[in-house]
Structure 1
Amino acid sequence: MSRLYTENLSVGYGERRIVKQLSADIPDQQITTIIGANGCGKSTLLKAMTRIIAHQEGTILLDGKQIIKEDTKALARKMAILPQSPESASGLTVGELVSYGRFPYQKGFGRLTSRDHDVIDWAMEVTGTLEFKQRPVDALSGGQRQRVWIAMALAQETEIIFLDEPTTYLDLAHQLEVLELLQKLNQEQGRTIVMVLHDLNQAARFADHIIAMKDGEIVRAGSCESVITPDVLREVFHIDAAIGKDPRTGKPMCLTYNLVKDESTVLHAVPEERIPVSAGA
């Protein structure tokens, strides 16, 4: 049994249900990506699992306990979240922003201890942001700022990190920079990473486990090979996709796709020996 999972979870706003009777396991010490069309409930699921928003039905359990009953600071020592659009850090230096990650451990007047300072410096060193410690967050590039927000999440010293579209608004190089950092944290420190991604090939390349959602429900969850398939992508995104193999990683790769207009017209997976060597390079 996974440490974190949901059972028959329903989440909504008013009378409208966004997530419907959803049961999902988050594998420990692996990278899980959640994919699906806009409005399918990906971000809503993330917010519910981190208790940012309330759920109406079902349960969310972490280490056998319902998160709704957990003390806020205790829960913040177990999981961290980087939202899709982090709040403005205007006027803060990098060091000041990262120090906010120590909030769950502060007592009394909230003064930082020597232990807190050590963790803050470690988080910035791991994310390659220590050299920016005294610089204003606003003066950094998009990729640098994203690494600083990740450093703040790391400063919480949680074993589980949630990220909602961490590559949004970043160019290709900065997207790869952020995803490789998350992969490194998973592989070297055993962090459980859960993130929403729009790019299917990035999801397949970096994930150990993928959850494909449609209309608030799970269409399929499992390995990249079992989820990134023409049938699943047809159902989830309403596209007719040709799936091959990434020549660098061996992971499944969406080579091309069309919108589904005629159900009688279907592209099939491209045989490996016919995939151009340059694909995905």
Structure 2
Amino acid sequence: MVRLHTDQLHIGYGEKLIVKDMSIEIPDKKITTIIGSNGCGKSTLLKALTRIIRFQSGSVILDGKSITKEDTKKLAKKMAILPQNPESAGGLTVGELVSYGRFPYQSGFGRLTKKDIEVIDWALETTGTAEFKYLPVDSLSGGQRQRVWIAMAIAQETEMIFLDEPTTYLDMAHQLEVLELLRKLNEEQGRTIVMVLHDINQAARFADHIIALKEGNIIKAGNCEEVVTNKVLQQVFQIDAVIGRDPRTNKPMCMTYHLLKGEEHHEKTNFAVSALSRATS
């Protein structure tokens, strides 16, 4: 099932076009990751999908309706976004920050209702941050802070959560902690998760659907078996990768790689383009 899709989307800044003629589908109640090199349009696409930035032409359709025509509060009840670098939460306690997720449901003076407080406590419990409720956000570790920001997002009670590089600046253990939490939200609560990731192996391990971008264009979209291949990675990252199997998940993983240079890059890219064209024709 697809609730969110784009049709011939063009996104840019000024005269510079970043995303070109993009039509994609986001599977409902699945985990989708967007991968690609720096500057390829990953974050730009995520911002357009959540109406943070405008697009030049095309459309983003949610539940059969353009998001540009949706009421802001109604849209905020359907989708939450955690940007790559959340604004500073200086001076706020964890509980206060998570309470901001209840904004779409507040009216009048914005006082928290009994229902709001129950949802906030539930979000803290779900993310394992209840013990930090009265602590300053700035006193927490990077991994703890990221879980608190995710708690704020799920306190918004949306069916879709968008995250821009949620593992950036985290060590390996905290990266895994955050990704396991997102998978738990997907599996146990049916949340649709859409996130930008840099790590190919993390994308393969946690995603049901992967969208690989290069220079604002889709190179390949599909499951990890279809996307995490030598040919696709050649086009997307200009690398010659050795693809093996994760012994714990049996998912494809990049074992090692080297950069393609000069004629080698040209020859392998042409071969990859030809092979992908035959596969999709």
**Runs of 4+ displaced beyond 6 Å:** none
Q: Return the offset for 1:260.
A: 0.4
What is the CA distance between 1:49 and its match in structure 2? Answer: 0.4
Displacement, 1:263?
2.0
Match for residue 147 of structure 2?
147
Q: TM-score when scaled to structure 1?
A: 0.93
Identity in percent: 74
Summarize the alignment of residues 57-136 of structure 1 with structure 2, pairs less than 5 Å apart.
57-136=57-136
> Which residue number corresponds to residue 279 of structure 1?
none
> Are positions 1:19 and 2:13 aligned together?
no
1:180 aligned to 2:170? Answer: no
Give the residue type in structure 1 aligned to 2:232. V
**SS at 2:17 equivalent:** strand
Rounded Cα–Cα distance in structure 2 between residues aligned with 1:189 and 1:90: 31
Letter in 1 for 2:264: E
Name the CA distance, whole Å, in 2 between partners of 1:28 and 1:3. 6
How many correspondences in the alignment? 266
CA distances 1:53-84 after superposition (whole Å, capped 9, x unpaired): 00111000000000001000000000000000
C-alpha deviations, 1:135-187, integer Å up to 9, x for none? Answer: 00000000000000000000000000000000000000000000000000000
**What corresponds to 1:34 in structure 2?**
34
Residue 263 (structure 1) aligned with residue 257 (structure 2): no
State the superposition RMSD in angstroms.
1.0
Give, in whole Å, the separation in 1 of the partners of 2:131 and 2:209: 34
Three-state SS of the structure 1 residue aligned to 2:128 is coil
Q: CA deviation at 1:8?
A: 0.3
DSSP 3-state at the match of 2:143: helix
Task: State how 1:197-208 maps to structure 2 within 5 Å.
Answer: 197-208=197-208
Structure 2 length-normalised TM:
0.93
Match of 1:275 in 2: none
Residue identity matched to 1:38: N
1:29 deviates by 0.5
Q: CA deviation at 1:35?
A: 0.2
Q: Which residue of 1 aligns with 2:166?
A: 166
* Structure 2 residues without counterparts, runs of 5 or longer: 269-281
Output one character per residue of 1:30-59: Cα deviation in whole Å (capped at 9) or x when no partner. Answer: 000000000000000000000000011100
Residue of structure 1 equivalent to 2:4: 4
Aligned to 1:272: none
